Amino acid sequence: MSRGMPRLPRPLMDLWDWQSQAACRDVNPELFFSPESERGVRKRAREMVAKSLCGTCPVQPECRQHALSVGEPYGVWGGTTESERDNDLPEQRKSA
């Protein structure tokens, strides 16, 4: 490889391999993403169930970091809700 040639990107499987170990891999995604009309107690209850599954997951840190790094605007990822990730973003930018 010559010095002027850019490196090839890492294989996609390397970037996403953690998902194959996720506790949610065989769970209905509706548990993690709210319908547009869902609010209040019903939304909090669904998020609590989703977050409890995340609490058992061996790749929770990778999932959370992914959601923060791509600015995932929807759903429960790595045990965090949309609003919790919004609160974490300023801290992530400071530490970057």
What is the extent of the structural domain holding 74? Answer: 59-96
Q: What is the pLDDT of residue 93?
A: 46
- As for how many domains the chain has, the answer is 1
On whether residue 96 sits in a domain, the answer given is yes
List, for residues 63-94, the tens digit of each pLDDT value. 999 999 889 999 999 999 999 998 876 555 44
On whether residue 48 sits in a domain, the answer given is no
Q: What is the pLDDT of residue 17?
A: 86
Token representation of residue 89: 């973003």
On whether residue 76 sits in a domain, the answer given is yes
On whether residue 10 sits in a domain, the answer given is no
On whether residue 92 sits in a domain, the answer given is yes
On whether residue 4 sits in a domain, the answer given is no
Instruction: Estimate the crossing angle of helix 82-95 against helix 60-70, to 10 degrees.
Output: 80
List, for residues 6-47, the tens digit of each pLDDT value. 665 555 556 678 899 999 999 999 999 999 899 999 999 999
Residue 24 labelled as part of a binding site: yes
On whether residue 70 sits in a domain, the answer given is yes
Residue 63 labelled as part of a binding site: yes
Q: How confident is the model at residue 96 (pLDDT cuts 50, 70, 90)?
A: very low
Q: What is the chain written as a DSSP string? A: --TTSPPPPPPHHHHHGGGGG-TTTTS-GGGTS--TT--HHHHHHHHHHHHHHHTT-TTHHHHHHHHHHHT--SS-BTTB-HHHHHHHHHHHHHH-
Residue 15 labelled as part of a binding site: no
